[in-house]
Amino acid sequence: MSDNNPKPPDSPESDFSKQWPSELYEYLNLDDDQLACDELDSFVSGHVLSPNTDQANEVGDLVGSSSHHEEFSTNVDEKKEVRDRVAFKTKSEIEIMDDGFKWRKYGKKKVKNSPNPRNYYKCSVDGCSVKKTVEREKDDPRYVITTYVGTHTHPSNS
Partner DNA sequence: CGGGTTTGACCGGCGC
Partner DNA sequence: GCGCCGGTCAAACCCG
Contact residues for DNA (CB under 7 A)?
A: 51-53, 56, 102-109, 111-113, 118, 120, 122, 124, 131, 133
Tell me the closest approach of the beta carbon of residue 103 to DNA, in angstroms: 6
Nearer to DNA, 18 or 104 (CB): 104
What stretch of H or E contains 86? strand 85-91
Tell me the closest approach of the beta carbon of residue 9 to DNA, in angstroms: 27
Three-state DSSP at 27 gives helix
Tell me the closest approach of the beta carbon of residue 29 to DNA, in angstroms: 25
Nearer to DNA, 19 or 129 (CB): 129
Nearer to DNA, 35 or 56 (CB): 56
Q: What are phi and psi of 95, to 5 degrees?
A: -95, -20
Q: Is 89 exposed, middle or buried (0-12, 13-18, 19+ CB in 10 A)?
A: buried
Three-state DSSP at 64 gives helix
Q: What are phi and psi of 24, to 5 degrees?
A: -65, -40
Nearer to DNA, 34 or 107 (CB): 107
Tell me the closest approach of the beta carbon of residue 120 to DNA, in angstroms: 5
For β-strands 103-110 and 143-149, DSSP reports them as: unpaired
